A = this chain, B = another copy of it.
Amino acid sequence: MHSEKLKKREYEARLPALRAELLEAQNSLRKANFPVIVLFAGVDGAGKSEMVNLLNEWMDPRWLINRAYARSSDADTDIERPVFRRYWHDLPPRGQIGLFLSAWYSQVLLGSVAQTVSESEFPRHVQRICRFERTLATDGALILKFWMHLDKRRQRKQLERLEANPATAWRVTHTDWAHWAMYNRFVVAGDQIIDATDAPLAPWRVIDGADHRYRSMAIGQHILDAIKKRLNVASPVPVPTDHKPSPVDWLSGVDLKQTLNKKEYRLRREQAQGDLNRLCRQAKQQKVSSVLVFEGWDAAGKGGAIRRILRALDPRTYRVIPIAAPTEEEHAQHYLWRFWRHLPSAGNITFFDRSWYGRVLVERIEGFARTDEWQRAYNEINEFEQELVESGIMICKFWLHIDQDEQLRRFEERKTIPHKAWKLTKEDWRNREKWDVYEQAVNDMIQYTNTSYAPWTIVPANDKYTARVHVLETACEHLQKTLSSRTRR
């Protein structure tokens, strides 16, 4: 690579205008509906940290988020949670800029250099990165990735120059020289990663880091141009999808006539609660986490089913997350962001009372999500769940199914029992009128998200006893299976 330079005089002449324009762009961005994600990776000494510091100096730090990550052993807030949880957690809200140092590239890059990431594992790492960036980019995030380059000779020179000056010698550590010795491996790994993760919506730009004025100006200008260009696009172009209504009517096949008498219910419930308690203690020891998702018609008995499970568990190991309208902070992020927040830590359980499936149910039907948004959500959700399963989390998804008559009966009952009346809202009656469109949406949801790694369980729930035992026994089964597959490994 031919090394580029910028004279001091030219740099100083151009700088004030660039800074003023960057600030102006940042200001316009605040009213925009997308975040900007800037990532720096590359060779040590090519100016990654310096660039982050410089951008902090140039722009308004109140709307900038800086994130650099220690090695994973240090990632105290994320121990034994999926690796990407912290990157999700740290994403800038719409209207703001996030500056990331290496971040989601460091594991695969350092792993490839140190050969702890094998050739066969490499594609999985890269795929995970591509998915993450694609998910954000299709939601509107502007993603800019800079690979800071330095040739081997210059890297050595840079380190030597810093070492020679007593005032800056502290900047050079053993690690720097160790990395320098592996320069060739580093460059090869870098090339592979750039190739594999360069995407139209998340492109790499390789920057020669030898001359600090050249690289600063080039990156600053590039960020400015990209933001300005994006601000001028009227609105994101919806990506056309090929959504077809589900050819299968999943709900019609459910036998809602099953019942269970009280005695048998008690027997099976207590048996299953005992089993589940034992399995959960085992899961805790083996650090297998679980996510249990409860969806279902209004009044189908989601809450009651969850409570029958809770009674079998140690309260220190679970959290129940009821999903209502998003908060302001949640609303300023990708819709999956608020679910990443609540993932269980090692060996623990999160119950979602309603979940990310709201995207393809209520948000689809009420128009809170655009057509292209809910249509691409099936795939996003599948990828999200796959990510969790690959991190060792077990997922159980329940659809509690009742028919229209049973719902009406329960609505009427709620009206008359004082301590149940609160459960019944005008929204419930409105939703009821849309039974048919919901039915289609539920069928589509099951059709397109019923994956091998996170299958749906449709629970016949006209009879509450049947439903509760069904849920409890299914949770046991899944957990049993997950635990034995882990032990076999």
Residues of A within 8 A of B (CB): 16-17, 19-20, 22-23, 27, 49, 52-53, 56-58, 60-62, 66, 68-70, 74, 76-77, 79-81, 101, 166-171, 267, 270-271, 273-274, 277-278, 303, 307, 310-311, 314-317, 319-320, 322, 324, 327-329, 345-346, 353, 417-419, 421-423
Contact = CB atoms under 8 A, between A and B. Distances in A.
A49 B315 contact: yes
Given A23-B422, A74-B316, A170-B277, 7 more contacts: A20-B418, A22-B419, A61-B303, A66-B315, A167-B267, A168-B274, A170-B274
Nearest to A315: B68
Copy number of this protein in the oligomer?
Answer: 2
Nearest to A348: B70
- Chain A at the B interface: SS class: helix
A418 B77 contact: no
Nearest to A60: B422
18 contacts: A19-B418, A19-B419, A20-B419, A27-B422, A58-B419, A61-B353, A62-B324, A70-B316, A76-B79, A76-B81, A76-B345, A76-B346, A77-B345, A101-B315, A169-B274, A327-B329, A328-B328, A328-B329
B310 A53 contact: yes
B418 A319 contact: no
Contacts of A307: 53, 56-57
Contact of A61 (B22, B274, B320): B320
B278 A170 contact: yes
Contacts of A17: 418
A266 to B, nearest CB: 8
The 5 A-B pairs of least Cβ separation, nearest first, read A19-B419, A20-B418, A167-B270, A68-B315, A328-B328
A401 to B, nearest CB: 21
Nearest to A346: B76
Nearest to A313: B49
Contact of A418 (B16, B52, B57): B16
A320 to B, nearest CB: 7
B315 A52 contact: yes
Among the interface residues A101, A353, A417, A419, which one has the most CB atoms of the partner chain B within 10 A? A419
Nearest to A167: B270
A339 B451 CA distance: 42
